[in-house]
Every structure is written in structure tokens, then in C-alpha cells.
Structure 1
Amino acid sequence: MNSIALVFSAGLAAGAMNALAGGGSFVSLPALIAAGVPPVQANTSSTVALFPGGLASAWAYRDGLRPVGSVSLRALLATTLCGGFAGALLLLWTSSAAFTFVLPWLLLVASIALAFGRRIGEALRARWHIHANAVLAVQFMLGVYGGYFGGAVGIMMIAIWGLLDNSDIKHLNAPRTLLVSAANMVAVLAFIVANAVHWPETLVMLVGAIIGGYSGARIGRRTPPRVIRAVTLLVTSCITLAFFVKTYAPLLLHR
């Protein structure tokens, strides 16, 4: 019962985080590992569990769906689907030991994106603009990252989209939620076909993530962005530090 409560609560929090600022996997993945799911399967199960919550958020933002600058939403969607499938296959080919070793670094990359993604995007926009074809190439790589791990991938998408001449940063939340869900969709299908999902924990987390995702999208329209950002960064930083200590401290002590 304690594991069920832990996984459900993590689903609520992760779904809300994804709707508000991204980074829901920072909560869902550690919770599944704490519940006894092996690391790679915890990541696949987390992706499956958070997928419906992402769809709920995309539905809440549906009125804002539009092209990103000069790039059609259809082209971005197709590119993201291909990248997400490639990332899912890469994860399935990764051993648990290798994933455990690289996980803290994935969390660190996601934490940096959450903390500084907006500033980096603004600095890049002030100096460079890129062609639509380049955006699609980078979008494919982000799709790969989304299918493999996906932490803060939505923030990374917005930073890249901002380099388009005609992009409107204020209206990118809707396509962000849709395309993050697209990368997750093909990953979910691959994980299910590969029988890489721990269903009891996943289904419990899935219910919580649906509730959290839709509620988070509603709350995000009323909560000051500074509050959302501060809470998100605090959570992600603490979890990232904990995983570095857990993974690498024993290695240092044995030297």
C-alpha cells in the first residue's frame, strides 16, 4: 500500500509539473525505482504512465495549436515521431547498468535546461536566426532525446523554436505539449510491444498523472510563473543531486 500511495502521488506531481513547466520525469522515475522497478523499466514505465497526462495537457491547450514560425505543425509532428521512435529503440538496447550510470547526467542536462533554457534561448535569439530545415533537423534529435529520456525536452524545443524569425514565444506552450506527447506516443508503443512496462505500478501512476496533467494546465493559467519556476527548480535540483550521490559516492568510497 505504501508503494501504491508513493507511485500515485508521484503521478499527480509529475503530471502537474509537465503541464506547468516540464520535468515530471524527475518525480515519476525515482518513485518507480523506489517502488522496486529496475532503472530501464522504470524509465519506460514512467513514459507510459505520463503519456495520458501529457495528452490531457495538450487537450487543455488545444485552442493554441498553430505552426511554429514558418515551420508547419505537421512537419514538426512527423519529425518528432521519427525521432521519438529512434530514442525508444536506443533505450531498449541500453543495459540497466549503463542507464544507471548515465541517468544522473541526463538529469543534470534536464536541470540545466529547466534552469537556464529560457535565458539561453533569449541570448541565442538576440544573435542568430536559423532556417526551417535546421529546426527540423534539431527537432529530430530532440525527438530522440524525448523517446530515450525526455526530461525538460519541452523547454529545449521552445529554445530552438525561438531562433525562427517569425516565432512567437508567448504562443509555444500548445505545440510544445503536443510534440512532447508525440515523442512519447511512439516510445510508449515501442515499450509496450517490447514488453518493457511494469503494469501494476504504471497503471497506478497513469491515473494520478491524468489528474495532475489536466489540473496542472488549469492551475498554470492562474499561478505566477515565478512560483512555478522556483518550485520546479528546487525539486529537480534536489533529485539530480541525490542521484549523483547515490550513483557515484560508492565508486569514490571504494577507491
Structure 2
Amino acid sequence: MEHLILILAGLAAGALNAVAGGGTFLSFPALVFVGVPPVMANATATMAALPGYIGSAWGFRHEIRAASPVPVRAMVAMAIVGGLLGALLLLVTPNEVFSVVVPWLLLAATLIFAAGPALVRRVTGQGGALTRPAALGLLLVVSIYGGYFNGGLGIMLLAAFGFMGFTRLHQMNGLKNLLSAVLSSVSVATYAVAGVIDWENGLILGLACALGGWGGAHLAKRIPSMTALRIFITLVGLVMAAVFFLRQAT
């Protein structure tokens, strides 16, 4: 039953990450539900999301190669540094402290996710862009957050791309998955060295996320409107945040 829960959560999380983001709202709680400690669950959820990010980035490989306002290599460098810093920050956070922070992180990520599309439209509609140093600095901050907690990372990257001058949604989606894969790879390597990954549950969840991410990348190009999906994901995030607040209260 525990494996079935992880498989279903992984398939859904991988697809959601590829299409709209928010997969962590399912994968992280699923790991905690089957008994994985919070810090380890967070590290394991990041590892599990990694194959999905790679599969989704491959699905958008043609869009990623298009000309961009900021060089892809520079963005990858920021993702590497940020992913490492965020992972190190997680490793020095005790389980007891992280348990208190988790519901607030879930709530904040859900609100960011809900406001994300309007924010991206507003940013991309303003015209202009940040200077390159400012753009890379913003990307570094978002990458640190992603290395610490994966929830809401996708929509934060999309908003950052809007500030950086990107306007093509498919290219932004492709780069979102590429940078998520890069910073998650660095984070996972750091977690692995520290021994905070539950490999058995993580591999099951990761394989399911990979399948979901591959399918989600193709599905994303065919969905005319994602409003209903975003509302559903927002509700899931709010429910999960409420559950963790209740766990904390009891």
C-alpha cells in the first residue's frame, strides 16, 4: 500500500511539475505519510523530482535552444551555486525546526503558485528587463530557495524569467525544467553525501515522477487553458498546508 501511494503520488507530481508545477505538494506529503522524517522527506522528494525534470527538459529541448536574453550557461552556473547553498542550508536545519517551518513553506509556496500566472503576465507585459547582473542575482536567490525546498520552484522560476526579459512560454517552461534539473542534481548530490536520502522510497517515487514528467511535457503543449488545473493544485496545496498545521497542533 505504501509503494502504491508513492507510485500514484510520483506519477501525478511528475506530470504537474511538467505542466504547471506544484508536484511537491503531493510528493513531499506522500513521503511524510509513509513515515519518512521531514528533512529526509524533503531531500528525498527533491531526488524523486529530478528524473521528471530531466524528462521534461528533454521534451522541451528544441525550445531551450532558442535565443535567450540571458545566456543559458550563465543561468546554469547560478542554478549550480544556488542549489548547493540551499542544500547546505537544509542540512543544518534540525528536524524539529523544519517540522515547524514545513506548513509555512507549503502555504507560502501555494500562495506563490496561485499568484504566479498573474505575476508572470504583469512582468512580461511591462516590457524591458533587469540588467544581466541583477537578473542572475535574482536567479541565484530563487535557486537557493529551490535547493532548500522544492515547492513552488517552477512558478518562481517562470516569474524570474519574466523579469529577465523572456516572453515565449514554451521556452520559459523548458528552461524552468532545465534549471530545476541542474539545481536539483547539485542538491541531491549534497544530500546523498550527507546521507539524508531514503533511497528505497525515493527510487520508487523517482521512477514514477520520470514517467509523469515525460507525459506531462507533451501534455503541456496541448492544454489550451490550465486555469482549472491551477485551481485544483492550489486547493491541494492549501489542504496539505492545513494538514501539516494540524499535525503540528497535535
Q: Identify the TM-score tier after normalising by the shorter chain.
A: over 0.9
Q: Which runs of 4+ in 1 moved over 6 A?
A: none
Structure 2 equivalent of residue 176 of structure 1: 176
1:68: Cα distance to partner?
Answer: 7.5
CA distance in 2 between partners of 1:211 and 1:105 (Å): 30
1:81 matched to 2:80? The reply is yes
Please list the CA deviations of residues 47-89 of structure 1 after superposition, one character each: whole Å capped at 9, or x if unmatched.
1111111100111111100467521111000011100001011
> SS where residue 168 of structure 1 aligns?
coil
In the alignment, the residues of structure 2 paired with residue 122 and residue 29 of structure 1 have an alpha-carbon distance, to the nearest angstrom, of 29
The aligned residue for residue 245 of structure 1 is: 246
C-alpha displacement at 1:235, in angstroms?
1.6
> Do the aligned residues in 2 keep the contact of 1:20 with 1:228 (CA within 8 Å)?
no
Q: Is the 8 A contact 1:16 1:216 kept in 2?
A: yes
| Residue aligning to 1:153 | 153
TM-score (norm 2): 0.93
Deviations 1:100-140 (A, max 9, x none): 00011111121111100121233345387421211100111
- In the alignment, residue 239 of structure 1 is paired with which amino acid? M
The whole-number CA distance in structure 2 between the counterparts of 1:68 and 1:39 is: 40
1:212 pairs with 2:209: no
Amino acid corresponding to residue 28 of structure 1 in structure 2: S
1:230 to 2:205 alignment: no
User: Which residue of 1 is the match for residue 106 of structure 2?
Assistant: 107
2:71 aligned partner: 72
1:34 maps to what in 2? 33
In structure 2, C-alpha distance between the alignment counterparts of 1:64 and 1:58, rounded to whole Å: 9
What TM-score do the two structures reach when normalised by structure 1?
0.91
Question: What is the total number of aligned residue pairs between the two structures?
Answer: 247
Deviations 1:200-254 (A, max 9, x none): 111111111111111111222223322322222222222122222222x33xxxx
Identity over the aligned pairs, expressed in percent? Answer: 36
**8 Å contact kept, 1:67–1:73:** no
Flag the 1:32–1:141 CA change in 2: closer, same or farther, 3 A.
same
Q: Helix, strand or coil: the match of 2:163?
A: coil
Q: Partner residue of 1:199?
A: 199
RMSD: 1.7
